[in-house]
Amino acid sequence: MTDTLHPTTLQGKRVLVTRPAHQAAKQINGLSALGATPVALPLLEIRPFSSPAVEFHHAKGRILDLDLYQHVIFISANAARFGAELIDDYWPQLPIKVNWLAIGRKTAAVLADYGIDAESNPLGYDSEALLESPALQQVRDQRVLIVRGQGGREKLADTLRERGAQVDYADLYQRVCPVYSDSDIEETLHQQRPDALLVTSGEGLDNLLLLAPGSRQQFALTNLLNCPLVVPSERIAQQARLAGFKRITTAAGADDQAMINALLPATDAESDK
């Protein structure tokens, strides 16, 4: 699909970019290069834990014990970045006989920048896809460390425990909903409705629904539910359907190019109406 993109395909389209602020630049630049007008509204704020937070010291203990684990799984690019930095602080040489895994190519690429060669499933970008990896099929009595943000889905850990593994968490950061004034929401979402929405996580979708009404309440939310929405997985697409979104496109993944590629037919359909 990339070879068929034309620079004016998205000309003049207002596209809502909802990635955390520190991760949005590549997506914004990609949209701008195709003639779109990106509108930034981060739906998650990433706050790393640091000393003296209890969570930081707990995670540090897990990292110090890395050589006790057969598998170490990184949930996201943020988990990879914060985790790799912590590993770099305490492990001048990586422990041997650890199987490194990542959810998604972007997470694996971040780890590669730190010299960690992690396996990811090229056929998917979520816990379900990673659970199909051959390395995680026979894990009885093996120890698994999941490096992640605080909270989130339990699917990965629950399934591995069902398979007989001992699973621990290293929670390195928390995800919080940013605070916006009603005037911020009004200007971004309602004075001129976006032509499309890019949302890369279920938690981000929840936050959009929480923030969208602003001072307009139900009218504003109903208006937004009719916008073309691009999400990275069928799981989040189903979440969006249940929330009332009418025009949902599922991308091939959560990376920036996949999201933009999926946006093209979504906005083309809008222009044909």
Question: Could you read off the pLDDT of 142-199 as tens digits, one per residue?
Answer: 999 999 999 888 999 999 999 999 999 999 999 999 999 988 998 898 888 899 999 9
Give residue 220's pLDDT band: very low, low, confident or very high (50, 70, 90). Answer: low
- How far apart CA 44 and CA 225 sit, in angstroms, is 20
- How far apart CA 196 and CA 32 sit, in angstroms, is 14
* pLDDT digits 0-9 by tens, 65-103: 999 999 999 999 999 999 999 999 999 999 999 999 999
Check if the beta carbon of residue 159 is closer than 8 Å to that of residue 194. Answer: no
Mean pLDDT score, 52-70: 95
Angle at 117 between CA 111 and CA 119, to 5 degrees: 95
Which residues lie closer than 8 Å to 252 by C-beta, 6 or more apart? 258, 261, 262
Please tell me the predicted confidence (pLDDT) of residue 253: 85
Please tell me the predicted confidence (pLDDT) of residue 161: 98
Q: What mean pLDDT is reported for the chain?
A: 90
Check if the beta carbon of residue 66 is closer than 8 Å to that of residue 145. Answer: yes
Reported pTM: 0.85
Percent share of the chain, pLDDT over 90? 75
Q: Minimal CA–CA distance to 81: which of 108, 119, 56?
A: 108
